[in-house]
Structure 1
């Protein structure tokens, strides 16, 4: 130290800097807790909102700190293994826990062990082999009937559900939504709500109504109901229309595996299976990329289309 001072190269240590990975004390809970606000400052505002951080980042990182306090590990791999095994293998939760911890290690400048990737999994084992759970046309009709009979839900609530069904919107896209009349009186949704994520933001778009097959062309007088009632007040809150709608499903005693996104899934399958739209065209209407569309709906779309193609080829060969 004396030599460094005399040479003019010595500096006071940065108390906020995390210890190097070779320091056996670097995994102490207080060091991890000091890193978390640093990571939050870097991510919130640029890549996500504060609410997204609190809902989908803070709980995982708090669990990591608690694991470090319980196990007093000095080895990164041991701590990370204990931490990740708290979630079932090949689940989305474990993937998220892995990715949050890796971001924290990157913030500290600590090396990341490649072996940890094996614990992350890829989610395929936990995925439903049938693909996404979408509302069937019969379930959509049952939902409408239960809302109409409900003493607590009114015309505006039914309108909100019908809008999701015929336009395939995310519940958050109800905020600031407008519905107008298009060619031949077909209702068109004008979506202005933008979805922010680490992959970018969705842009505003216009979506024509694509109702279930047994619906009337005017979607049960949707435009007239829009002008008369409008959407309910709760649908315009940024704190989560989707969660509110899923709670309504539970109160209406709809199947427990259905969520408000199930109507969006049904819309996507309608575009591909009933209308035969290309993946790129469907993705454009739904406000996401073709890659996301294939990853989400590929299982449900490929099977029936492939079967029809094979049947046509076999029939043509026989002829």
Structure 2
């Protein structure tokens, strides 16, 4: 039997995920029959009789969402106690699985379908939707009553940021609004006239000033901050961030495996999903080795933090520290920016400027991201002095090889 196409695999995986969220683990599947989609219902769901429901939807990759929504509609009808024939009739034979562009747009249903698509495809995690997408979807729902066109909607979305052109929050809100409009049109959930404009720059705006550059903390600053943190749990958390170059969220995903400290955090991005990794101190960081963080690790030594909100909790705590505030003000005066990620940036900076024998790809692996991400994020800190020093070391190495 030939292997299914990639889009078919995505369809079935997404459908299985959506069904499992509604309590259905088996008993309903989809396949192709004479170029159309067909829903297969097991005896358990079909009141003792297997059913095969032909849909009027073409079995094609552009109809992944329509097929999934039609199947879910049938299942929901069955769960609601409708007779099998009624649940099937509500969907089967209707163009585009009951999706219609006539009448008012059901925006909450559109957003819910968008959420299921994002989660079902594995593109994002549920926590990402909750922490990042959900609040921006609420903004869209609050603005749709004032908009009759995509341009009006984008203008309403951008209005609260009128005094902050180009800011990151405004950019993300506009981009996610355009994304759901584009997806809605592509899947037939919205009329074609709701397609967003290709150029979003007028709605995002342009920053009047250059953004402050997030810079790495110096070792002396790290050690001074550790000395001024009075709470032992928060001090331990800050030491872990600084010694291993962790993302703040990763503090809640640490465990000991065979005597080694591991990070089990999985970050999903366009470049894929990160894998669990053992944590490593840089060879140049003797000060970090003296802390014995790995040997003394215990989860209860860390402060309590809500899942997904570790960075917020620690950021709030650090902003209440006098030395942290002084450093932030000094950084800002120099056109730079101090944030928790400055600890992670400092790890990368030390790796490239002090531990020059470490290949970049290994530093990226130790930090838990791809080489492409690493180069994009940290190459801007490689100045002319570092480049000159690297070339000088290479020349010295060549001379040693030639005279050996």
TM, length-normalised to structure 2: 0.59
Question: Is 1:16–1:34's contact at 8 Å kept on the other side of the alignment?
Answer: no
> Which residue of the other structure, out of 197, 212, 226, is the alignment partner of 2:297?
226
Distance change (3 Å), C-alpha of 1:179 and 1:162:
farther
What's 2:129 paired with?
Answer: 53
The aligned counterpart of 1:203 is: 275
| 1:178–1:189 contact (8 Å) kept in structure 2 | yes
Partner of residue 113 from structure 2, selected from 30, 33, 38: 38
**Change in CA separation of 1:56 and 1:222 when aligned onto 2, cut-off 3 Å:** closer
Q: 1:200 to 1:73 in 2, by over 3 A?
A: same
Q: Give 1:165 deviation, angstroms.
A: 1.0
- Provide closer, same or farther for how the CA distance between residues 164 and 211 of structure 1 changes in structure 2, counting only shifts above 3 A: farther
C-alpha displacement at 1:34, in angstroms? 3.0
Whether contact under 8 Å (1:18, 1:108) holds in the other structure is no
2:287 to 216, 220, 232: 216
Indicate whether 1:285 and 2:355 are aligned.
no
Cα 1:37–1:161, aligned 2, differ >3 Å: closer, same or farther? same
SS at match of 2:111: helix
Cα distance 1:121–1:181, how it changes in 2: closer, same or farther (>3 A)? farther
Q: How far apart in 1 are the matches of 2:301 and 2:283?
A: 18
Per-residue deviation at 1:60?
1.8
1:117-266 to 2 correspondences below 5 Å:
117=201, 119-120=203-204, 126-128=210-212, 131-147=213-229, 150=230, 153-154=231-232, 156-178=233-255, 189-210=261-282, 215-216=286-287, 218-226=289-297, 231-232=301-302, 234=304, 237-253=306-322, 254-255=324-325, 256=328, 258-266=338-346
Separation in 2, partners of 1:242, 1:104: 28
Distance 2:174 2:293 in 1: 45
Q: 1:137: Cα distance to partner?
A: 1.8
Where do 5+ consecutive residues of structure 2 fail to align? 1-92, 186-191, 329-336, 395-404
Q: 1:66 to 1:282 in 2, by over 3 A?
A: same
Asked if the contact 2:262/2:277 (under 8 Å) is kept, the reply is: yes
Unaligned 5+ runs, structure 1: 1-10, 183-187, 314-319
The ranges of structure 1 where at least 4 consecutive aligned residues each deviate by more than 6 angstroms after the TM superposition are 11-16, 121-125, 309-313
- The answer to which structure has the higher strand fraction is 2
Q: Deviations over 1:112-155 (max 9, x none)?
A: 32132554479896533xx32322222211211112xx2xx12x
C-alpha distance in 2 between matches for 1:243 and 1:79: 30
SS at match of 1:285: helix
The root-mean-square deviation of aligned C-alpha atoms, in Å, is: 3.6
- Following the alignment from structure 2 to structure 1, what is the Cα–Cα distance between the partners of residues 208 and 273? 26
Q: In the alignment, which residue of structure 1 is the partner of 2:153?
A: 79
- Mapped partners of 2:258, 2:95: distance in 1: 66
Deviation at 1:51, TM superposition (A): 3.0
Mapped partners of 1:285, 1:57: distance in 2: 29
Aligned residues: 279
Q: Is the 8 A contact 2:234 2:303 kept in 1?
A: no
Secondary structure of the corresponding residue to residue 190 of structure 1: strand
- 1:226 aligns to what SS in structure 2? coil
